[in-house]
Structure 1
Amino acid sequence: MAQDSEDLVSDYQFWLQKLSVWEQASSKETQQDTCLYLSRFQEFLRRMYEILKEMDSDAILERFPTVGQLLAKTCWNPLILAHDESQKILIWCLCCLMNKVPRTPGESELNSWIRGLLSYVLSAFRFDMKEVGLFTKSLGFEPIDYYPSLLKNMVLSLVSELRESHLNGLNTQSRMAPEHIMSLSQVCVPLVTLPDFEPLVEALLTYHGHEPQEVLSPEFFEAANEAFLSKKIILSTSSVVSLWFRHFPSLEKATLHLFEKLFSSKRNCLRGMECCIKESLLLKFALKTYFPYGAPSLTAALSQHPEAIPQGHRLQPLLHISQLLREAIEDSTHGSQRGPFESWFLFVHFGGWVDLAMEQLLRKEAEPPAGLLWLLVFYYSPQDGSQQRERSMVALKELLNRLLMLLGSGPLSAVDLQEAAESPSPPICAQLVRCLLLSLLLWTPEGHASAREAITRMVHTDAAAHEIVGFLDQTLFRSDHLCDEASRKLARELLQELQAQV
């Protein structure tokens, strides 16, 4: 190592002088001289990198005080940059000079200056092609053909370097220093939206070293996340998921971005919402990621497909789910809101069970099971305590009995239905009442005749109209296991009529 360092020092002044000569003249003779010495200069850069990567930035500047000048002259020489291998080695040398955590204004200024050089190198396909044009034409290339290939080769070379470093693991002799990877990620911040750099962005996102701390800069994560969300770049699923796992602010922003899209235009269209959610890749996470405290037995029960259960065998699994939910909530820590709402969010995620519970309660031949009443009251009012929930269950049972009596006493009257729905005592959640009434109108043959008039009476505010539109859309979305063709036809007609009004 010491001998290599001494040899490098002896060559250092020679190459610094050479670069100064090449910088001052752009004649054909200078170009020929540059090409003649290019392979030797690349070897010098490679040796320099092997030495610099073992030193911190302070030691580098102490031993090689003019190293910044040498590397800057290299960056400004288009014939040297015209070779992707030279670009790659130059990038690593510049990364060695950066302070991972700058402590003084001088170090911050040095970092900024180096990032400027790195950005210039990485975007070298834009530089003035006058000098390089003469060289490439002599080789039979047109610049328009040459530069994209140069950039592609340079990016692929960096990607290969990252992958080799990733595979080398703890072999510190042949893997990149974490600060160099950090520096490269900072350089890529303004370049993430360029299509040619997508392989490098993906390689950085999927790179996992063995360091205890993150080796990529937060600014890089933020830039990559913003570019992906705005559809300015296309990234693989693995790289996007890796991005969100490694940088939680990006995951939060992606989630908020999804909510904004859903609330802005898709709130009354479940199929559109489903498509939007799938496009976001946020379903790609394991269910445990979203519900870390959910009881495994409850998650397993809810994970069944409700539509796969035969018509005559749906009550038992519903009662089992009700029992598991009740146990999860009543066994939660006193005063803690995590238990009830964690279970509620999990239950809402599998909302098809609520529709099945409503369907079972509207069966005229059976007494309303307490477990199903509890499910609906909990679904619509999860914030209630156990005593309030018990009172709501009593009121819901009375309301249900009144509606079923009307259903069995002849043609349904919209006025009678409205009066029955407005008189539960004690009062219960208005949304639950409306959904129960809408279910009766749509899912029973007797309710079809008065459905339009009854719904017209219910649509007295914009909020109520949007709620009913959402219910109708939900009915059509899950119609395969809930209702017959006549009910689906009526739901489609009512949905079209209401959507024209809101």
Structure 2
Amino acid sequence: MSEVQPTGQLQHTAESSLNVQEMQFWLDKAVAWGQADSPDLHKDTCLHLRRLRDFLQQILTHIHSMSSTAETMKRLPLLGQFLGYLCWNPIVTADDSSRGLLLQCLWGLHSEHPSNAVERKANQWIRKVLCQLTTEEDDIATQVFMKHVNVPPKEYHRKVLKKMVAQLRENIGRSCSSLSSVNRSCSCDIVLATSDACVPLVTYPEAVPLISALLQRPMTCVKETLSEDFLEALSSAYASRSLSLEGQDLVSLWFRSLSSLEEAVFGLMESVVIRGCTPQMLEQQVAHSLLPKACAMHCSMFLVVGDIFRSTLKQAEKNERMKSLIQSFTRSFLRELALLLPQMSVPLKAFFPQSPPSLLAPLLTLPSEMPQEAWRNHLNWLSRSLQRLTEEEEEGGGSGRSTRGHHRVFEAWFLLVQCAHWVHVAVQLLATSGPEDSGPLLWLLTFYHHATNRWHHRAAHLAQAREAWEHLLAVFVASPHPAPADRLHSLVTLLSPPAQTTPPLAPSLAISLLVNFAVFCQLPLSASTEILQTVVDQSGVADEAACVLSSLELRLNEGGCSSSNRVHLRIEGLQYTITHKHSA
């Protein structure tokens, strides 16, 4: 078995359980793979790895069924040649499963007590192969390895992989040249073949440099330079946590693979929307996901993420967790975009192509970017602009124009959800000002919480919102304290209304107003705490109120609006009371 024989037809024996044609097929493959080092042969090897593993398993079963090595070699005389070719194929030996089966076959042929010349010669060849495979030269190391032959030494594994990675990286070292002739070969063909050859290596840490080089290769050619199998393998390995990708490599994967980007977005939605988390944890998870940064770098990715958010929100308009995710994502995206704007050539409107152009800049402007005295006028203008859009929709009636109008209204509302900092400022102003000129702010708040009801219930909801606001104004400003029980009962009814024909006011709207009144009113903290605690306990919305308090605290800490130390202390006191009693 020590000398490699010329390729020939395998002898068929009736006793052999292996298919002769299949044996000949795999021997021819092994010979071909070893004759040259080219991307095409690398790709062919990778494509056949799974079937090769199945065949090696058949061989191993066959070896175990034989009474001796001599009998095995008599029935399969070219088995040693076949295994020998595979032992020097770096792609086969770099694949953990193939390598394990290959070495088990070799160990199965080793005779503990050789009884004839064939077995002694086989043992010598097997020892030589195993010794070279383990990259060790002393007999002790060989003996130790052979006792644990099912798992090869890590050192050998690393050396094989490093050699494999180095060879493949050399293939992609050249940049793509512009093709002046159809007969010229584009180097992207080599990159494509290299990415195919990298498929079985994606879960190995030693392959990360090659993966990074492939992902970071600029897309300067009309050809797709990375194979779909490679991108799919990366996405699968990353999703199963078998591969660690960070920074630009992960962004590049998302940019090249739509499915991996969608999976990342849905994974983020599952972690923060379905499972739930605090506003502070939401901010951290969104930023840690790298998605906002990736979207700031690639407009096309932002459009994909926006479409996912848009479609989800159409099915769950009142899902406050989903709204919070969209708002947190947009804030983080705008921060990342601001860092890139000096060197960016993409206009801001390219990121929001479906949004009404007249509303884009006013809504994307942060409250901290203008004087506090200008907030009310800015909000009044926003409210009037949105009202005109809804009125145009209603005037469309049942025509096709109505459908287009509804689309415009939805896109305006979606942009308002993305830029909900102005909704939060509107609620704060409603809690800190008198009854004068409250109409536009209440309309804006109602539109935000009841966008798709259109004209059917808009008037009724606006009336309910005004009723809730007037109740709160009376309780926190005009009423003696402690507040009369009937007024508190009215607030409880607004938060948990009985079944009625007209759809009730969104509880999130009433809770937001209630919390802002408790925080910003001039009542002593003890009085505000008593009112808030009574209402949320009887309404069963303690968790929702605590979430609004946390969001308000986060916004104030980020500089979304001016605030005093008194306001922060009141938020802390209200949070402690609600969470302490609720947990008790």
TM surpasses 0.5: yes
Structure 1 letter corresponding to 2:533 = T
What are the equivalent positions in structure 2 for 1:305-344 lying under 5 Å apart?
A: 305-327=366-388, 333-335=401-403, 338-344=407-413
2:288 is matched with which residue: 276, 279, 302?
279
**What is the CA–CA distance in structure 2 between the aligned matches of 1:463 and 1:120, rounded to whole Å?**
63
**What is the CA–CA distance in structure 2 between the aligned matches of 1:114 and 1:403, rounded to whole Å?**
74
Q: Displacement of 1:320 after TM fit?
A: 2.9
Q: Displacement of 1:410 after TM fit?
A: 4.0
- Tell me the residue number matched to 2:213: 203
What are the equivalent positions in structure 2 for 1:65-464 lying under 5 Å apart?
A: 69=27, 72-73=30-31, 89-95=37-43, 113=51, 119-123=91-95, 130-132=130-132, 137=137, 148-164=158-174, 166-170=175-179, 173-176=184-187, 178=189, 184-207=194-217, 208=219, 210-211=221-222, 215-217=226-228, 219-263=229-273, 266-267=276-277, 269-284=278-293, 285-286=295-296, 289=303, 290=306, 291-327=352-388, 333-335=401-403, 338-365=407-434, 367-386=436-455, 388-406=457-475, 407-411=477-481, 413=483, 415=485, 417-421=487-491, 428-446=505-523, 448-460=525-537, 464=541
Contact 2:168 2:194 in 1 (8 A): no
Moved more, 125-134 or 221-230: 125-134
Contact 1:202 1:239 in 2 (8 A): yes
Moved more, 462-471 or 181-190: 181-190
Q: How many percent of aligned residue pairs carry the same amino acid?
A: 24
**What is the CA–CA distance in structure 2 between the aligned matches of 1:156 and 1:463, rounded to whole Å?**
63
**What is the CA–CA distance in structure 1 between the aligned matches of 2:435 and 2:165, rounded to whole Å?**
70
Contact 2:90 2:160 in 1 (8 A): no
**What is the CA–CA distance in structure 1 between the aligned matches of 2:266 and 2:272, rounded to whole Å?**
10
- Deviation track 1:174-202 (CA, whole Å, cap 9, x = no partner) reads 53465x65565455444322111112223
Contact 1:442 1:491 in 2 (8 A): yes
Shift in alpha-carbon separation, 1:189–1:146, aligned structure 2, 3 A: closer
- Deviation track 1:236-265 (CA, whole Å, cap 9, x = no partner) reads 433322322332222221111111211355
What are the equivalent positions in structure 2 for 1:28-43 lying under 5 Å apart?
A: none
What secondary structure, in the 3-state scheme, does the structure 2 residue paired with 1:449 have? helix
Contact 2:383 2:441 in 1 (8 A): yes
Structure 1 letter corresponding to 2:282 = M
**What is the CA–CA distance in structure 2 between the aligned matches of 1:196 and 1:326, rounded to whole Å?**
59
Structure 2 letter corresponding to 1:72 = A
Moved more, 281-290 or 146-155: 146-155
Shift in alpha-carbon separation, 1:260–1:281, aligned structure 2, 3 A: same
- Deviation track 1:202-234 (CA, whole Å, cap 9, x = no partner) reads 3333443634667422x4334322433454433
Contact 2:442 2:465 in 1 (8 A): yes
Contact 1:118 1:187 in 2 (8 A): no
Shift in alpha-carbon separation, 1:429–1:264, aligned structure 2, 3 A: closer
- Tell me the residue number matched to 1:15: none
Contact 1:411 1:446 in 2 (8 A): no
Contact 1:415 1:454 in 2 (8 A): no
**What is the CA–CA distance in structure 1 between the aligned matches of 2:210 and 2:511, rounded to whole Å?**
54
Structure 1 letter corresponding to 2:245 = L
Structure 1 residues not aligned, in runs of 5+:
1-17, 23-65, 81-85, 100-109
Shift in alpha-carbon separation, 1:225–1:96, aligned structure 2, 3 A: closer
Shift in alpha-carbon separation, 1:92–1:328, aligned structure 2, 3 A: farther
Moved more, 371-380 or 115-124: 115-124
**What is the CA–CA distance in structure 2 between the aligned matches of 1:325 and 1:162, rounded to whole Å?**
54
Structure 2 letter corresponding to 1:309 = M
Contact 2:188 2:225 in 1 (8 A): no
The RMSD of aligned alpha carbons is 4.1
- Tell me the residue number matched to 1:55: none
**What is the CA–CA distance in structure 2 between the aligned matches of 1:224 and 1:463, rounded to whole Å?**
46
Q: Displacement of 1:283 after TM fit?
A: 0.7
**What is the CA–CA distance in structure 2 between the aligned matches of 1:229 and 1:279, rounded to whole Å?**
16
- Deviation track 1:346-372 (CA, whole Å, cap 9, x = no partner) reads 222222211110111223345134321
Shift in alpha-carbon separation, 1:372–1:187, aligned structure 2, 3 A: same
Contact 1:359 1:482 in 2 (8 A): no
**What is the CA–CA distance in structure 2 between the aligned matches of 1:97 and 1:485, rounded to whole Å?**
68
Shift in alpha-carbon separation, 1:275–1:188, aligned structure 2, 3 A: same
What secondary structure, in the 3-state scheme, does the structure 2 residue paired with 1:394 have? helix
**What is the CA–CA distance in structure 1 between the aligned matches of 2:163 and 2:387, rounded to whole Å?**
61
Shift in alpha-carbon separation, 1:68–1:263, aligned structure 2, 3 A: same
- Deviation track 1:423-458 (CA, whole Å, cap 9, x = no partner) reads 779853232122212211111121633333333333
Number of equivalenced pairs: 417
What are the equivalent positions in structure 2 for 1:457-472 lying under 5 Å apart?
A: 457-460=534-537, 464-472=541-549
Q: Displacement of 1:461 after TM fit?
A: 7.9
What secondary structure, in the 3-state scheme, does the structure 2 residue paired with 1:259 have? helix
**What is the CA–CA distance in structure 1 between the aligned matches of 2:222 and 2:52, rounded to whole Å?**
24
Q: Displacement of 1:396 after TM fit?
A: 2.4
- Tell me the residue number matched to 1:475: 552
Shift in alpha-carbon separation, 1:387–1:451, aligned structure 2, 3 A: same
What secondary structure, in the 3-state scheme, does the structure 1 residue paired with 2:457 have? helix
Moved more, 471-480 or 187-196: 187-196
- Tell me the residue number matched to 1:4: none
- Tell me the residue number matched to 2:328: none
- Tell me the residue number matched to 1:31: none
